[in-house]
Homo-oligomer: A and B are copies of this chain.
Amino acid sequence: MNVEEIIKTEKKIPLPSRTIIHLSLVANKINEIITCSLKAYEMSLEQFNVLRILRGQKGKPANLSTLNERMITKMSNTTRLVDKLILKGFVDRSICPSNRRKVEIRITKPGEEILLELDKAMQKAEERILNNLNTKDLEELNKLLDKF
């Protein structure tokens, strides 16, 4: 993860551009490590996020729009994402009785169980990602990221 090497190709990249490139590189690294950890469970990062959101609902079902707001994905993908989780038995979907346009998506027992496994894998991944940063670093980083 050496920005300098990548950056040296263009003569002198100004600080703002450098920061953005730097951020993208770090984000990519993070993404790669996490995706790789999840792959052992045949779970994509997006699927994992859906499961986490559903767990956060504490039994209350979520509809697609809700999932969508909390995620980066586009609506059209969310449908198919949920399809895949249903196939694996980690969530179920039913039509909302009060508004039949909506669907209600819930996490299942097996879904909650796999999520516990995934939590552990995530924690290991995080340790790998953040092993050079201490609490103060993280706090500062959060503060800076808040400005975006």
Contacts and interface: CB of A to CB of B under 8 A. Distances in A.
B26 A126 contact: no
Say which size band chain A's interface belongs to.
35 or more
A80 interface: no
Contact of A126 (B20, B28, B146): B20
A139 B14 CA distance: 11
Interface in A109-142: 122, 126, 129-130, 132-133, 135, 137-142
Contacts of A126: 16-17, 20
Interface stretch (A36-44, A50-58, A82-90, A92-100): A50-58
Interface of A: 1, 3, 6, 9-11, 15-20, 22-31, 34, 52-53, 55-57, 70, 72, 122, 126, 129-130, 132-133, 135, 137-142, 144-148
